[in-house]
């Protein structure tokens, strides 16, 4: 298939971690790729304040995790108008009807036809998708049926699916509705390891609600989803953790952002299919 040199970044309306978008994006843009951005309802994704605060100290790592260079990159991006053109996933993909609805069968048939058209359009327009991390995805990305249908389209088309931090959790739940089988079964992946989980303070832009710890241990659900034929790689103690097991490119957290971008580019332009394991 001819390359369109376009990437679709899927982002949360409850906040994205700045460098987890801008880091990989800068590598890809430098190589000639263009980006579109999408959120569940089309609202511009806000940047999470700690991701542009160079004094923010991550309690699990006991370190300031936002560098001056990364903060500058994110702030420069935020000053552009690129996110003003954010696409609306609810307009791009149909909603699966409730089985209890009186007109269910006809609606379900219509859903499948609309989904097929939306999936074909997405894989024709984009070379890869990027699931951006931060705490926001916990709210509106991870268990979002429309996001799942987008991911399933790229999985069926054997096209790259990149995810970082809590964006990786989406891969656990993006499953064919009839088969109910994990698409990362027998695969090698990484994601936020338990040692990096906060005991408290999981919050979201636009609300003062503090969830406390994350609502699930990402390491555990990833390890269960890949099953005995695959493997979760936390790489605790190593500064970065990026895993390529095509079509998946997964990254543990913000420290991996630049390496993550390099590997996405190598997958797209050099045919990389395995890395980090």
131 is a domain residue: yes
pLDDT tens for each residue of 184-198: 999 999 999 999 999
Which CATH number does the domain housing residue 92 bear?
A: 3.40.50.880
In a domain, 152, yes or no: yes
Question: Among residues 132, 199, 126, 197, which one has the least CA distance to residue 157?
Answer: 126
Residue pLDDT, tens place only, 222-244: 999 999 999 999 999 999 999 99
Domain that holds residue 191: 6-275
Within-domain flag for 247? yes
pTM summary value = 0.96
2 falls in which pLDDT band (50, 70, 90)? low
Residue 1 domain-assigned (yes or no): no
> CA 65 → CA 138, 253, 259, distances in Å?
21, 10, 16
Average pLDDT over residues 250-264: 98
Report yes or no on 93 lying in a domain.
yes
Question: Residues 115, 120, 125, 130: is their CA dihedral positive or negative?
Answer: positive
In this prediction, residue 46 carries a pLDDT of: 97
User: Does residue 160 sit within a domain?
Assistant: yes
For the range 267-275, what are the long-range contacts, defined as Cβ-Cβ under 8 Å and sequence gap of 24 or more? 267/128, 267/160, 268/3, 268/28, 268/33, 268/127, 268/128, 268/160, 269/31, 272/244, 272/246, 273/244, 273/245, 273/246, 274/244, 274/245, 274/246, 275/242, 275/243, 275/244
Q: What is the pLDDT of residue 220?
A: 98
Bridge partners, residue 75, by sequence: none
**Does the residue 18 lie in any domain?**
yes
pLDDT at position 243:
98
At 85-142, the pLDDT tens digits run: 999 999 999 999 999 999 999 999 999 999 999 999 999 999 999 999 999 999 999 9
| Number of domains observed in the structure of the chain | 1
pLDDT tens per residue, range 260-275: 999 999 999 999 999 9
């Amino acid at each position: 298939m001819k390359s369109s040199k376009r990437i679709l970044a899927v982002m949360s309306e409850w906040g994205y971690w700045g460098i987890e978008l801008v880091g990989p994006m800068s590598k890809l843009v430098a190589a000639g790729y263009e980006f579109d951005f999408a959120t569940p309802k089309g609202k511009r994704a806000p940047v999470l304040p700690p991701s542009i605060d160079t004094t923010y100290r991550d309690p699990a790592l006991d370190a300031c995790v936002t560098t001056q260079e990364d903060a500058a990159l994110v702030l420069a991006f935020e000053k552009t108008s690129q996110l003003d053109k954010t696409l609306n996933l609810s307009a791009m993909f149909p909603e699966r009807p409730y089985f209890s609805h009186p007109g269910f069968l006809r609606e379900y048939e219509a859903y499948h036809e609309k989904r097929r058209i939306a999936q074909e359009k997405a894989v024709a327009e984009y070379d890869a998708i990027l699931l951006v991390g931060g705490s926001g995805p916990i709210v509106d990305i991870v268990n979002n049926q429309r996001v799942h249908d987008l991911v399933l389209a790229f999985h069926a088309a054997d096209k790259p699916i990149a995810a970082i931090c809590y964006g990786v959790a989406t891969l656990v739940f993006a499953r064919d509705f009839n088969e109910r089988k994990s698409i990362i079964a027998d695969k090698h992946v990484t994601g936020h390891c338990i040692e990096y989980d906060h005991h408290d303070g999981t919050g979201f832009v636009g609300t003062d609600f503090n969830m406390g710890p994350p609502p699930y241990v990402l390491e555990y659900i990833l390890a269960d989803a890949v099953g005995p034929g695959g493997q979760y790689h936390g790489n605790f103690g190593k500064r970065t953790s990026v895993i390529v097991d095509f079509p998946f490119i997964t990254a543990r957290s913000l420290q991996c952002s630049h390496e993550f971008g390099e590997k996405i580019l190598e997958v797209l332009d050099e045919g990389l299919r395995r890395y980090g394991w």
